Structure 1
C-alpha cells in the first residue's frame, strides 16, 4: 500500500477532533516546505553560524520580513480559536 492509501484508511477511523489538528499540521508542513527549499537554493553550502541577537539586530531583521498579504486573516483566527485548548492549572503555585 502507498502512504496515501494508508493515510486514507486511518482517516476513515479517526475522530473529527484529531482530523482538525491533522489538517492544521499538514497545512503547516506544506507552508514550511517551500521556505526550506528556498533557503537551500540560496546558500547550498553555507555553514550554520550562531549569532548573538541584540534588540537592534532583531528590529533590523523585522524590516526584512514581508507584510501580511491576503484575505484569510479572519479564517486563520477562527482556526486558532477552534483548535486551541483551554489552560488548566490544577496544581499549587510554587512561587507563593
Structure 2
C-alpha cells in the first residue's frame, strides 16, 4: 500500500469536524509549498559591520539611564 492509499484509508475513519481541520491544514501546506517554490530566499550571513558603524556614538541625554536598565535586565537573565 502506498502512502496516498494509506492516508485515504485513515481519512475514512475521521469525523467530519476533524476532516475540516485536516482540509485547512492541507491548504496551508500547499500554499507554503507554492511560496517556497516561487520565492527562493537569498540568505547572506550578517557581517556585523552595520551595527559596528554606530560604535562609540550616542545621541540623546539618556545614556546613563539606558545603561542602568541594561545592567538591571541582564542581571535578571544571569540568575
TM-score (ref. length: structure 1): 0.42
More helix by share: 2
TM-score (ref. length: structure 2): 0.50
**Which has the bigger relative contact order, CA under 8 A and spacing at least 6?**
1
